[in-house]
Structure 1
Amino acid sequence: MADNYSLVDGESLLQRIKNEVIIVQILVMIFLCIDLLLIITFFKKECFYTTTRYILFAVTLLSDSVLLFFSDILLLLSYFHFTMQVWLCIIICVFMFLCTLLTPVTLTAMSLERYVAICMPLRHGELCSTRSTVHCILIIHGISFVPCIVIFTMFCATAFLSFYKQYQVCSFELFSLHVWQDHVRSAVYQFYFLVMFMIIVVSYIKIMKVAKVASGEDKKSTWKGLRTVVLHGFQLLLLLIQLWCPFIETWLLQINLRLFSPIRYINYVIFFLAPRCLSPLIYGLRDELFSQALKKYAFSGLCKRNVI
């Protein structure tokens, strides 16, 4: 009887995991298709790839798309218990660490761009030129790469050379050989997000002050910029919670193994996938110019396909 129950429980568990993986594949494919459509639209009009906020928007789309793609591959490899050498997993994970931080750092830069556009309109053309945007993107990548160096250095300082040649299921947990490494990584991430969140809060307060004294069309534009900053703050909050998820999951793994899998799945959907679908909504659909171009090229593509 006990064997029958264990067999039923095992089959139901496998079915649930299979359903979860299928749902994730559907969500990832939807988000990747939307991001691809937005990226194509970005390159269709010159005003998009010569304007700072649209260039930064494209950076978030690219980093989110790459991160979704690689995280989905790791999910499938983990589901099928496919192993690889640790050195190859390290390269993939470091690249994913970089993409994980690129989006929040870019969101902070986009909030600063809105602050300059609304609170310092006379200097917006000078500070947010195409050349300045390229420099800004390089700075964003440099800032995002610093935690990767810290995590990789800590790992290399504690791992034996033989460990790199071992075959294991690739995951971020490989970088946590000791508890203190988790603490250092958490401290670095919390410092980053505290600074970024403070910048967004200050930008929000400054824009709100301008919104109170603005009038007519300026007031409408200012409040729209204010709502954009609020959405960036909410998106950044979700991304911050995502960085706490591995520590919560590790704690659950030690206490209750049954809760570990469903909680990890919920965290992945809510705090990993959801924040990355907000960027297309904030700029892809809320922005009037971009949404018009998106509808134009989407419908023209459908019409050509129907004609063919």
Structure 2
Amino acid sequence: MSSATQSQINITVGWGLLERVMMSTVFTMPCYVFLFINGTMLFTLRSKSVFRETSRYILLYNLLFADTVLLVQGQLMYILAAFKVTLTYPVCGVLIMLANLNTVISPLTLLVMSLERCVAVCYPLKHATIVTIRNTEVAIIVVWTSSALNIFTKVILLLNFRFEELQSLQMKRFCGKESMLLNQMSELYDKCFTYCLFLSTGVTVSCSYMGVILVARSASTDKASKARNTLLLHLVQLGLSLCSTVYSPIIIAISKVLDRTILMHLPSVFYVGLIIFPRCLSSLIYGVRDQTIRPVLLYNLCFQRKCSLCLSRPDKY
């Protein structure tokens, strides 16, 4: 009887491990696909002088870089959680701070990109004077500095926690954003900063969108219409990014009303929809819609070989 029971336990554990491997493979495949697309897009934006010398493509590169780093970091955290691997507080702190750095960079870069599109449509004669390479570089420096100051503040607040009171630096829970909010002050600051960040970014993008709409209605130009659609997609990106910052509270709230069996796979579904998908939207928005990027991107996705999807030769760009 004891031998039969032990065999049943071994089979159960084996199936549990097999299920984790299969589910992890299914839910991580989209991440690998988008990492390939994002990596190709980053290479594309550095391959031609027209991309390196145009402000909106420089801003796009900055946004894609932050999103790609977040994809890699998120994938690593997902695999660790799927196989129930716990980390030490210092290692988890480094990973979370890296994620926080890029999480702030993405919405701030979207803000600058939205303002650039608004200036291009509403003030076309002043666009070349306002949106210069130098001003773009300054804007990117401000974005990174703001994000770095946020991380510095969080580290200072984190150091106020008495780590010597812990029995061990080994974490008992999986590494996550909430795991590093070790005191009430850190939690309060994180909430206030997140709300202010997305509120200010959302208002700025919305105002830019309204300005472009007014111009599009009066002028009815193709450029204004494309800018309007781009800004609308930026608003969608911001919304999804905001949802990704409250990922854990959403899971906790839904867990109170859903069946346990469904709940087992819900975090993985949310991971793909709220963590991975927003980080690939930039490549899809500009890679498909931008007539300058699209042929070069398709050419590079085909490993620089002739492809039926390529609409024209990329050499002319």
TM-score by length of 1: 0.86
CA shift for structure 1 position 17: 3.0
How far, CA to CA, are the matches of 1:162 and 1:126 in structure 2?
Answer: 57
1:205 aligns with 210
User: Of 166, 169, 187, which residue of structure 1 is paired with 2:169?
Assistant: 166
Matches within 5 A, 1:262-301: 262-299=265-302, 301=304
User: Of 88, 99, 102, which residue of structure 1 is paired with 2:91?
Assistant: 88
2:249 aligns with 247
What's the % identity of the aligned pairs? Answer: 26
How far, CA to CA, are the matches of 2:167 and 2:124 in structure 1?
Answer: 53
Matches within 5 A, 1:1-308: 14-161=17-164, 163=166, 166-168=169-171, 169-178=174-183, 181-215=186-220, 219-250=221-252, 258=260, 261-299=264-302, 301-302=304-305
Unaligned runs of 5+ in 1: none
**1:182-208, Cα deviation, whole Å (9 max, x unpaired):** 343222201110110000110011001
How far, CA to CA, are the matches of 2:91 and 2:218 in structure 1?
Answer: 56
How far, CA to CA, are the matches of 1:293 and 1:239 in structure 2?
Answer: 28
- CA shift in 2, pair 1:71/1:126, >3 Å: same
From the two aligned structures, give the one with the greater helix fraction: 1
SS of corresponding position for 2:47: coil
**Is the Cα–Cα contact under 8 Å of residues 42 and 58 in structure 1 kept in the other structure?**
yes
How far, CA to CA, are the matches of 1:246 and 1:68 in structure 2?
Answer: 17
Paired amino acid for 2:239? L
How far, CA to CA, are the matches of 1:4 and 1:173 in structure 2?
Answer: 38
SS of corresponding position for 1:82: coil
2:313 aligns with none
**Is the Cα–Cα contact under 8 Å of residues 69 and 102 in structure 2 kept in the other structure?**
yes
CA shift for structure 1 position 55: 0.7
CA shift for structure 1 position 108: 1.2
How far, CA to CA, are the matches of 2:150 and 2:19 in structure 1?
Answer: 36
- CA shift in 2, pair 1:143/1:257, >3 Å: farther
**Is the Cα–Cα contact under 8 Å of residues 37 and 301 in structure 2 kept in the other structure?**
no
TM-score by length of 2: 0.84
**Is the Cα–Cα contact under 8 Å of residues 114 and 208 in structure 2 kept in the other structure?**
yes
CA shift for structure 1 position 170: 3.1
SS of corresponding position for 2:50: coil
How far, CA to CA, are the matches of 2:207 and 2:134 in structure 1?
Answer: 26
2:314 aligns with none
SS of corresponding position for 1:19: helix
CA shift for structure 1 position 20: 2.5
Using the TM superposition, name which of 7-16 and 48-57 deviates more.
7-16
State the aligned residue count. 301
- CA shift in 2, pair 1:176/1:263, >3 Å: farther
